[in-house]
Amino acid sequence: MKTRVSVAFPASKADEPTWPYMNYDVEERSNEVLLVLGEQLPDFEFVPSILHSVEEAEDLIRGDTDNFDGYLVYMTSLWTKIEEVFARKAYPVVIADDPFAGSGGILSVNSIIRRESLPVVTVSSSNFGDVVDAVRLFEVMKRLRESRILVVTDRNCEDGRVVEPLGTKIACMNSVEFRKFYDGVPDDEAKRCAESWISGAKDVIEPDEDEITRSAKIFLAMREAMSQKNADAITVDCLGLYYSDKLPAYPCLGFFQLNNEGSTGVCEADTRSTLCQLVFRYLTGRPAYVSDPVIDTAANQIVYAHCVSTNRVFGPGGLSNPYVIRSHAEDLKGASVQSLMPLGEAVTTIQINPEKRAISIHNAETVANIHDEKGCRTKLAATVDAQTVFDNYHFELFSWHRVTCYGNHRDSIMKLARIYGLEVFEEDRAFS
């Protein structure tokens, strides 16, 4: 279903001197705005309203309960206080200025939003693309609410749990259930998948074909399990289940393939990092990958290290980069991936703690793929203010894992955090 957005256009009283000018044709302007919104966001449905009073705004919000995925207030008039009603009583809300029409009003309501810590995004820009980007967040939120993460683990798992404030649901599966999917994978199908990985690799070092074929069976089992559970993402307690002989192979290559295909696969039954990958997937159309970052203050770098990654960092339809099939680094068993990712690119790294309503973020620029037998196989180095990130790394709040996506998505992440009411920890900026 389309993302439904209620669009409010405040209008001043007739014959009243005000910005943009007396008797400004709000209806004509609303039609222009709706035309551009429809062109830029074809998967959205926009329902417009021209409002002349606070009372009309309150009536609209009361009648709209549960009918819309978001509200856009496009400020075509000044000093109506209609925007304040939406800021306090509707959710989620984006308030955008029509330059020289509502400019004083958006400054006023933005002060209220900050003073009262309201979960509202404001846009004051002559670039209409900034409004479009903000409205697009409603679709991200909708998709997160409609998503389900499948967790494969023998540890405690609350089936049906909803992860607030994002609204994403958790589905659980134990190793015995998952093994049935594995055993049901045809050998010839797994072999074809393994051959595809081998032929696409720059090199295959430790694993033999049988090991890679078992990894392919894990991948195909994960894909079928996700389909059966109607899941949009999967995360597996890979270390715990492999070390206890409950998994016949590591799922690293399977996660690699899922992420390349535009789906989401995440290691270590890490639901927080899975949420981060879903955020990036819905926000950018790109996969992200989990890592255990290593901070090097001497080189002013952070190294994102893990035994799995994507090799399509710009999305399923983007360019691919070389990869090497290796053993899992910590025990030198199984099969994993060393992805040699693009350099000279901006990346955004986050982690979410939904229970504490907190999110961390930093940006960096990729500079090297590290070849070192120590640590995990994929090791992407990026320049950053390493000492600042080191000092601001809230391990007790976010643990070690971070999730990295290619591109500078800081502004969108910050806006999304505001709508969700998340406290933002900017790891690459000194705290006052």
- Phi, psi at 49, each rounded to 5°: -145, 130
How many C-beta atoms surround the C-beta of residue 231 within 10 A? 22
**Residue 265 near residue 151, CB atoms below 8 Å:** no
| Cis bond upstream, residue 251 (ω within 30) | no
Whole-number pLDDT of residue 202: 98
Distance CA 295, CA 361 (A): 15
Mind giving me the DSSP string for 33-51? HHHHHHHH-TTEEEEEEEE
Regions of the chain with pLDDT less than 70: 65, 431-432
Whole-number pLDDT of residue 341: 98
Mind giving me the DSSP string for 182-200? HHTS-HHHHHHHHHHHHHH
Q: What is the largest CA-CA distance in the chain?
A: 81
**Residue 137 near residue 121, CB atoms below 8 Å:** yes
Domains recognised in the chain with CATH numbers: 3-144 (3.40.50.10940), 147-426 (3.20.14)
Whole-number pLDDT of residue 108: 97
Place of tokens 């007396």: 22
Whole-number pLDDT of residue 13: 87
Q: Would you call 57 helix, strand, or coil by DSSP?
A: helix
Distance CA 425, CA 398 (A): 10
